[in-house]
Amino acid sequence: MLGYGEALKLVLERAVPLAPRRVPLMEALGLAAAEDILAREPVPPFTNSAMDGFALRAADAGPGRLPVAGTVPAGMAEVPALGPGEALRIMTGAPVPAGADVILPLEHVRVEGDWVILPEAPRRGANIRLQGEDIPAGGRVVPAGAVLRPAEVGVLAAIGCPEVPVRPRPRVAVITTGNELVDAGDRPGPGQIRDANIHSLCAQVLAAGGVPLPRPRVEDRRETVARALLGALGEADVVLTNGGISVGDFDYIKAVLEDNGAERVFWKVAQKPGSPLGLWVLGGKLIFGIPGNPVAAMLMFEEYVRPAVRRMMGYRNLHRPARAGVLEEGWTRSGDARRTEFLRVVAGPGGRVALAGPQGSGILSGMMRANALAVIPEGPMALEAGAEVLLHLLDEAEDH
C-alpha cells in the first residue's frame, strides 16, 4: 500500500498554483504575489518635513533670529521658495521649500511675533525626509512568491498599486455524506448524529486560507452523490467529499467518481487514522475522498489538503513547523506495523510530549486538546517513555 510520504508527494504534484489574478489591495492580505512588483515612483514622492517647525538655511541659522515669511501646510501644491535670511513655518509632511536645508522643530525655537528666535546652529539636513529615501523609483519592492502581510499591503498602496497580481484563494467545496447525519442545530433521532465534519472541515479550509463552499449534505444514494459531486466541481477548485469512502455497502464515492471519468491518483494509504483516503482528478480539479470518522477527517485535511491549498495559493512554505519531542509515557501500536500513525499529543515546555487522551478516530475532543501531531513512522510496535518523536505543531502557523 502507498505510504504517507508517497501519497503526500502525489498530492503536491497535482496541486499546482492557481492562475494569477488581480485583486483589489483591500483583499490582498495573506495572498502570494504572482510576479515581481516594482515601484514606478519614489516614496516619499517629494522631499518633505519630518517635524512641525521652521524651514531655513543652515547657513542662516545660529544663535539669533529670522523673520517668518509664511506658512507651508501639508498638501500645499505651490510652495514659496525660501528667501535668504528668512524662515518659513512648516508642518510635518509639507514639501520642503526650495532653498531650505534644515527644519527646526517648534520645541527648539521661540516665536516672538513674526520672528523666530534660534538656539545654536542646527545640523544641515536635520528633520528633512528626502524624496525616494524609503523606496527609490524602479526598485523591486515585492518579489514574486512573497506573501503579502500588512506591511507589504501598505507599501503597495504607497507606490500606487491599487490592484495586485496574486495567486487567488482556492475555492474548496465540502460535501458530507451519510443518512445518519443531522444539522448541528437539530436534535438527532434514533441512530442519528450531528454533522460535525462539515463544520470542522470548512473551518479548516478557512484557516488554511481557502474559501470554503459548504454544499448541501448528501444521503448515501448513488444518484444523489453523483449530482452533488458534479455540482460541486462546477463551482470549486477543489472538492472534499467526506464519508462513504471505505468498503461499506453504501460507500459510493469511488464508484461515482470513476463512473464519471475521474482519474484515481490513489486510494488507501498505509496510515492510521485515515487509511481510506483517496485522491482523484477530474477536469483538472482535485477531489479528496476524506474518511468520515471525525478525527480522520481533520487529520487528512491537516496533513494533505492544507499543504495542497497552500501550494495552490503560491506559498513556498507548505507545512507546519516540525520539531522533535520526547514521549512522557509509553505507547503501543494496535494493528499493522507498516502504517504511519498520527497521534494527537500535547507538546509542553522542553519538548515533553503527552498523549491528548484516547486516540480513537471518533474522539474529536482530542483534537481540541492536542497542539501537535506525533508522526510515528512504520516499524516500531511500541515506543517507551523517553522515546524521541517527530511533531507537527498544529497551533503554530508557518505563515509564509
Ligand X SMILES: Nc1nc2c(c(=O)[nH]1)N[C@H]1C(S)=C(S)[C@@H](COP(=O)(O)OP(=O)(O)OC[C@H]3O[C@@H](n4cnc5c(N)ncnc54)[C@H](O)[C@@H]3O)O[C@H]1N2
Residues in the site for ligand X, rule: CB under 6 A? 176, 178, 180-181, 193, 195-198, 242-248, 251, 273, 275-276, 291-294, 296, 361
Cell of 327: 514521549
Tell me which amino acid residue 253 is.
I
Q: How far is the CB of 329 from ligand X (least distance, A)?
A: 24
Q: Which helix (H) or strand (E) holds 204?
A: helix 197-208
Q: Which is nearer to ligand X, 163 or 183 (CB)?
A: 183
Q: How far is the CB of 246 from ligand X (least distance, A)?
A: 3
Task: Choose which of 49, 177, 200, 293 interacts with ligand MOO (CB under 6 A).
Answer: 293
Q: How far is the CB of 282 from ligand MOO (least distance, A)?
A: 23
Tell me which amino acid residue 94 is.
A
Nearest 5°: phi and psi at 350? 70, 15
Cell of 218: 448528501
Q: Which is nearer to ligand X, 246 or 260 (CB)?
A: 246
Residue 291 in contact with ligand MOO, rule: CB under 6 A? yes
CB 300 within 8 A of CB 374: no
Residue 273 in contact with ligand MOO, rule: CB under 6 A? yes
Q: How far is the CB of 260 from ligand MOO (least distance, A)?
A: 25
The DSSP bridge partners found for residue 218 are 177
Task: Choose which of 212, 244, 274, 325 interacts with ligand MOO (CB under 6 A).
Answer: 274
Task: Tell me the CA end-to-end span of the chain in Å, nearest whole number.
Answer: 33
Task: Choose which of 129, 167, 215, 272 interacts with ligand MOO (CB under 6 A).
Answer: 272
Beta strands 388-393; 322-327: pairing state: antiparallel
CB 25 within 8 A of CB 163: yes
Is the link from the previous residue into 150 a cis peptide, with omega within 30 of 0?
Answer: no
Q: How far is the CB of 208 from ligand X (least distance, A)?
A: 19
Residues 6+ apart with CB under 8 A from 154: none
Residue 180, contacted partner among ligand MOO, ligand X, none, CB below 5-8 A by kind? ligand X
Nearest 5°: phi and psi at 176? -95, 150
Q: Which is nearer to ligand MOO, 48 or 200 (CB)?
A: 200
Residue 251, contacted partner among ligand X, ligand MOO, none, CB below 5-8 A by kind? ligand X
Q: How far is the CB of 358 from ligand MOO (least distance, A)?
A: 13
Cell of 202: 470548512
Is the link from the previous residue into 24 a cis peptide, with omega within 30 of 0?
Answer: no
Residue 176 in contact with ligand MOO, rule: CB under 6 A? no
Residue 233, contacted partner among ligand MOO, ligand X, none, CB below 5-8 A by kind? none
Q: Which is nearer to ligand X, 86 or 251 (CB)?
A: 251
Distance CA 53, CA 88 (A): 8
- Gyration radius (Cα) of the chain, Å: 31
Residue 245, contacted partner among ligand X, ligand MOO, none, CB below 5-8 A by kind? ligand X
Measure the CA dihedral 167/228/191/294, to 10°.
-20
With contacts defined by CB under 6 A, name the span among 15-23, 66-74, 205-213, 272-280 that binds ligand MOO.
272-280
Q: How far is the CB of 273 from ligand MOO (least distance, A)?
A: 3
Q: Which is nearer to ligand X, 49 or 340 (CB)?
A: 340
Task: Choose which of 275, 280, 314, 345 interacts with ligand MOO (CB under 6 A).
Answer: 275
Nearest 5°: phi and psi at 367? -70, -30
Q: How far is the CB of 31 from ligand X (least distance, A)?
A: 30
Q: Which helix (H) or strand (E) holds 267?
A: strand 263-267
Residue 344 in contact with ligand MOO, rule: CB under 6 A? no
Q: Which is nearer to ligand X, 49 or 293 (CB)?
A: 293
Residues 6+ apart with CB under 8 A from 61: 102, 104, 118, 121, 122
Residues that bind ligand MOO (CB under 6 A): 272-275, 291, 293, 296, 361
